Structure 1
Amino acid sequence: MAKVKKTPRPKAETPKGFRDYFGTEVTHRADMLSKIAAVYHRYGFDALESSGVETVQALGKFLPDVDRPNEGVFAWQEDADADKPGDWLALRYDLTAPLARVYAQHQNDLPKPYRRYAMGPVWRNEKPGPGRFRQFYQCDADTVGASSVAADAEICAMLADCLEEVGIERGDYIVRVNNRKVLNGVMEVAGLSGDDKEAERGIVLRAIDKLDRLGVDGVRALLGEGRKDESGDFTKGAGLSEAQADAVMGFVNANAAVLEKLRDEARQLSDEDPAMAGVANAIADAGDVQHLLEREDAISYRSQWNGLVTAHLSELVSESPIGRSGVEELAEIESLLIAGGYEADRIVIDPSVVRGLGYYTGPVFEAELTFEIKDEKGRTRNFGSVAGGGRYDDLVKRFTGQEVPATGVSIGVDRLLAALDAKGRLDKAPSGPVVVTVMDKDRMADYQKMVAELRDADIRAEVYLGNPKNFGNQLKYADKRGSPIAVIEGRDEYEKGVIQIKDLILGAKLAENATLEEYNERPSQYEVPRDQLIARVREILDSQN
């Protein structure tokens, strides 16, 4: 008789590119989502929870790589083996494409404009890497049905408010704003408009989007024949002529050009008026725009900077109607933000912002954290982008056949949490429950009464539900839970009408470095009357915070 093979046990491991979240990680995220939702709500946006699954057709080609439509998603076909297979379905890739479907489906029942926010996980079938997972949270807000760039300006202001609400201090972030129409105008001036130039435009867009990583020289190389990286791999370029590349680089270098113009003017003013020498030095010393706008001795340029950049862009695209329209929209956004108190130290016009997705049609924006961190190899670098968005007037058109104006932003919650962690602004110590220990199994009802009183007083608490035979194990459990207090009531305490309260936080500190004298002067465990349970527990909790 053949030996029956045992069914192998499944491996207890998360799938590649996914991870589990525990305790404070979950509560930190929930707290952040609550704070962001409060800002969205304050701005008048309503909550929407759409399906986590969409048809592949509804998701369309608006995925990370426009050269590979429908790649990058987790998809399957309903009834694939049936005579008539069903629709192809996919886990949602983002929260924007589902919004377009929701608006097209329910537009007769929705207010116009429709302002909604949505939060939840999205899934991308991409190669995972350090800090890059296939499932992550997004936190979006969008306005559908408003053609005015006042909607874009509002999104930028709201994004700045969200960052400050969750604990990113002013000066540690910048919201950068550009307009795809300006870039389209640059393409037109450079002779890159038209369907036959789509491939070249794609390479140019991706090259500009890598400015922070590759620098000016790297971008310039990708505009020409191509670029070889440090590993020797060669990336084919757009093959532009020198004149075409010059036109694009004039756009890419707009910030540097304006900064240099300011330096020249400041030098001239300081020569004419020695009192201007301080400002001239501040501008001369500023390594880039961000450093200039952060300097208190050059603060007067905060209110001027965005206007100077739009004026420079206007010169670059003066021969392009679409480009001029984009500059006018940026100027209007800048005017509205100034009226709301958002100057260039918080929200700045920046032509280097491209945004990689293919559906943006007008203003685009990106929130970048400007402080430095150490990467996994110990190298110093800026933290980088944590949010982005823009105007996408063509997305709903796929469903309705009619253009519907829309604009929105998506905040990367996991990125923001990592940023706060890097700045030391997340409390990593778990805030565990008060643990009521079990000294007598026959008196479980008394312990449950204690824990009910604590919960009624809005104090997180639990009764130890493991094997109570070894009291030391109960305290070890409380330590592992990060519990602040253990409540102890044995037979003797019960008969005397008292309880023992053990301050676990203080006890750990005393055990770590206190002398015997200090230990005796500040006991971490003491006896109190039973009817003082709530008052004494609250007193200890207040002292620990």
Structure 2
Amino acid sequence: MAKDKANRPKARLPRGFADRHPGEIRRTQRMMAQIQEVYERWGFEPVETPLIEFADALGKFLPDQDRPNEGVFAFQDDDEQWLSLRYDLTAPLARMVAERFQEVPRPYKSYRAGWVFRNEKPGPGRFRQFMQFDADIVGAASPLADAEVCMMAADTMEALGFGKDEYAIRVNSRRVLDGILSEIGLPEGDPRRLTVLRAIDKADKFPLPEIAKLLGPGREDESGDFTKGAGLDDRQSEKVLALLDPTADPQLSEDLVTIGEVVKRAGYDSVIIDPSVVRGLEYYTGAVFEAELKFEVTDDAGRPVRFGSVGGGGRYDGLVGRFISQDVPATGFSVGVSRLAAALAAREGASAADRGPVIVTVMDRDNVAAYQEMTAKLRAALNQDGAVVPVEMYIGDSGFKAQMKYADRRGSPCVIIQGADERAAGKVQIKDLAAGKEAAANIEDRAEWVAARPAQVEVDADIETIAAAVRAIIG
């Protein structure tokens, strides 16, 4: 036994990854169905790409002589070629379009959903595996395509139930910033450009003095971890920080002017021009956008929490062209599914998505078939006209007390109880578990509890009567 224990693997989850519970999964599925409906309404079609790509297809994340660069999870196949878990859904789309360039219509409008993986330092709300839901237009150089993506992003937020005062789609253009970076001595290809972009991208999280540290020598956070800066001098940093000054008149490129006119004429007041939007990835070449939630919720400790950015994207005219001998314009938007689902959960609280099944308890092992018959008929009665109400019979070996504990752990709204006395009388007991907890909190001893039977009702044992009582409980 000691040897077995010593060799037993430890149950542990790798840092930066998470298990998901039923309520979260159901809420995410419902949310993704709503997003898909919006994307379809705008004429976008579904496509899937694999989780694994050749590492060189991911652009800047290329393998060095011994291992892949920081940022991706990668391994070598039996041909000693580097493969990587996809970092996002955009680079795989660019590879697919290039590979099927003569087949796909252009402009090519598609959407994709799936897991992406980043080999980066995890932290609160920052995971190494998370889900994205992308929509892209490949083959349209006009800023009208950027405007369309922004308006569709706004429709998506409203389809999910966010009011116009609760979110904003913020838009900027990298062309102004790229010009300034070249002006201060950081031409295209300079490795410091990406560090600058990532520093500016944190403007919604840090005050300007902290951004200045990231543009300069670097910044040490509260934990003592040090992030190396871009190494700009004071003059260079001031030029970049001037773009983030909310009191200054924004420098508008021609594409921003067009986007602004189109969205205004179409009535999308929630799409706004904001010079602080940059996006941290280097492949963006023009307009960039970010979906931001503006409302606050409170965490378990009562502290205010603001979710901020829950999605973003932009124009990436160079990605497809990496694979073929011509430039191919493209633009797109990505929803951060996990973050957006967390925001919805925090705002809405518990919902039907978190509710467990109605449980039919088994009081008499000699009549299991009768309990199963009741369960099947009740399931059929409750799940009509599009309703989804899970119903199950307890199939464990434990007694009544353990069955009630099981129902509680499953988050069941109610349990159906029929012992020998109830069967003889043609009755069942239905216990409302949520109301029962509330009532039991005011009962001081067991005798009082037995006499009161809090939130428990007796009804006739015919299925329609039971179903009506259950509906009254679950609402």
Aligned to 1:256: 247
User: How far apart, in 1, do the equivalents of 2:427 and 2:22 lie?
Assistant: 33
Aligned to 2:455: 524
Aligned residue pair count: 460
Helix, strand or coil: the match of 1:121? strand
- 1:500 pairs with 429, 448, 452, which one? 429
Aligned to 1:55: 54
Helix, strand or coil: the match of 2:101? helix
How far is 1:234 from its partner?
8.4
Helix, strand or coil: the match of 2:7? coil
Aligned to 2:88: 94
Aligned to 1:510: 439
Q: 2:57, 2:92 within 8 Å by CA — same for their partners in 1?
A: yes
Aligned to 1:170: 164
User: How far apart, in 1, do the equivalents of 2:129 and 2:357 lie?
Assistant: 30
Aligned to 1:435: 359
The CA RMSD measured in Å over matched residues stands at 3.3
Q: 1:167, 1:425 within 8 Å by CA — same for their partners in 2?
A: no
Helix, strand or coil: the match of 1:409? strand
How far is 1:385 from its partner?
1.4
User: How far apart, in 1, do the equivalents of 2:420 and 2:213 lie?
Assistant: 81
- 2:185 pairs with 187, 192, 207, which one? 192
Aligned to 1:294: none
How far is 1:357 from its partner?
0.5
Flag the 1:525–1:74 CA change in 2: closer, same or farther, 3 A. Answer: same
472-481 vs 232-241, which moves further? 232-241
Aligned to 2:309: 385
Considering fraction of residues, name the structure with more helix: 1
User: How far apart, in 2, do the equivalents of 1:135 and 1:96 lie?
Assistant: 16
User: How far apart, in 2, do the equivalents of 1:477 and 1:248 lie?
Assistant: 59
Aligned to 2:203: 211
User: How far apart, in 2, do the equivalents of 1:232 and 1:456 lie?
Assistant: 58
Task: Report whether the alignment pairs 1:480 with 2:409.
Answer: yes
Q: 1:204, 1:238 within 8 Å by CA — same for their partners in 2?
A: no
Flag the 1:171–1:70 CA change in 2: closer, same or farther, 3 A. Answer: same
How far is 1:38 from its partner?
1.8
Flag the 1:494–1:89 CA change in 2: closer, same or farther, 3 A. Answer: same
Aligned to 1:418: 342
Helix, strand or coil: the match of 1:141? strand
Aligned to 1:271: none
User: How far apart, in 2, do the equivalents of 1:52 and 1:26 lie?
Assistant: 20
Flag the 1:107–1:453 CA change in 2: closer, same or farther, 3 A. Answer: farther
Q: 1:177, 1:365 within 8 Å by CA — same for their partners in 2?
A: yes
Q: 2:68, 2:74 within 8 Å by CA — same for their partners in 1?
A: no
Task: Report whether the alignment pairs 1:337 with 2:331.
Answer: no
User: How far apart, in 1, do the equivalents of 2:232 and 2:428 lie?
Assistant: 81
Helix, strand or coil: the match of 1:348? strand
How far is 1:205 from its partner?
2.8
- 1:537 pairs with 450, 467, 471, which one? 467
Aligned to 1:349: 273
User: How far apart, in 2, do the equivalents of 1:393 and 1:69 lie?
Assistant: 25
How far is 1:522 from its partner?
9.3
Helix, strand or coil: the match of 1:108? coil
Aligned to 1:122: 116
- 1:153 pairs with 133, 147, 150, which one? 147
478-487 vs 516-525, which moves further? 516-525
Flag the 1:35–1:542 CA change in 2: closer, same or farther, 3 A. Answer: farther
User: How far apart, in 1, do the equivalents of 2:8 and 2:473 lie?
Assistant: 49
Q: 1:61, 1:69 within 8 Å by CA — same for their partners in 2?
A: no
| Aligned partner letter, 1:391 | R
Q: 2:107, 2:137 within 8 Å by CA — same for their partners in 1?
A: yes
Structure 2 residue runs of 5 or longer lacking an equivalent are: 384-388
Give the percent of matched residue pairs that are identical in Structure 1 and Structure 2: 47
| Aligned partner letter, 1:338 | K
406-415 vs 438-447, which moves further? 438-447
366-375 vs 69-78, which moves further? 366-375
Aligned to 1:78: 77
- 1:409 pairs with 316, 326, 333, which one? 333
Aligned to 2:106: 112
How far is 1:333 from its partner?
0.5
How far is 1:442 from its partner?
2.6
Flag the 1:501–1:116 CA change in 2: closer, same or farther, 3 A. Answer: same
Deviations 1:70-98 (A, max 9, x none): 4222211112xxxxx34322211111111
Q: 1:218, 1:227 within 8 Å by CA — same for their partners in 2?
A: no
Q: 1:186, 1:251 within 8 Å by CA — same for their partners in 2?
A: no
User: How far apart, in 2, do the equivalents of 1:519 and 1:52 lie?
Assistant: 56
Flag the 1:474–1:543 CA change in 2: closer, same or farther, 3 A. Answer: closer
Q: 2:24, 2:354 within 8 Å by CA — same for their partners in 1?
A: no
Structure 1 residue runs of 5 or longer lacking an equivalent are: 80-84, 259-308, 315-326
Q: 2:174, 2:285 within 8 Å by CA — same for their partners in 1?
A: yes
Deviations 1:297-342 (A, max 9, x none): xxxxxxxxxxxx4xxx15xxxxxxxxxxxx1111111111112211
Flag the 1:426–1:417 CA change in 2: closer, same or farther, 3 A. Answer: farther
| Aligned partner letter, 1:491 | A
How far is 1:247 from its partner?
4.3
TM-score by length of 2: 0.86
How far is 1:214 from its partner?
4.2
How far is 1:486 from its partner?
1.6
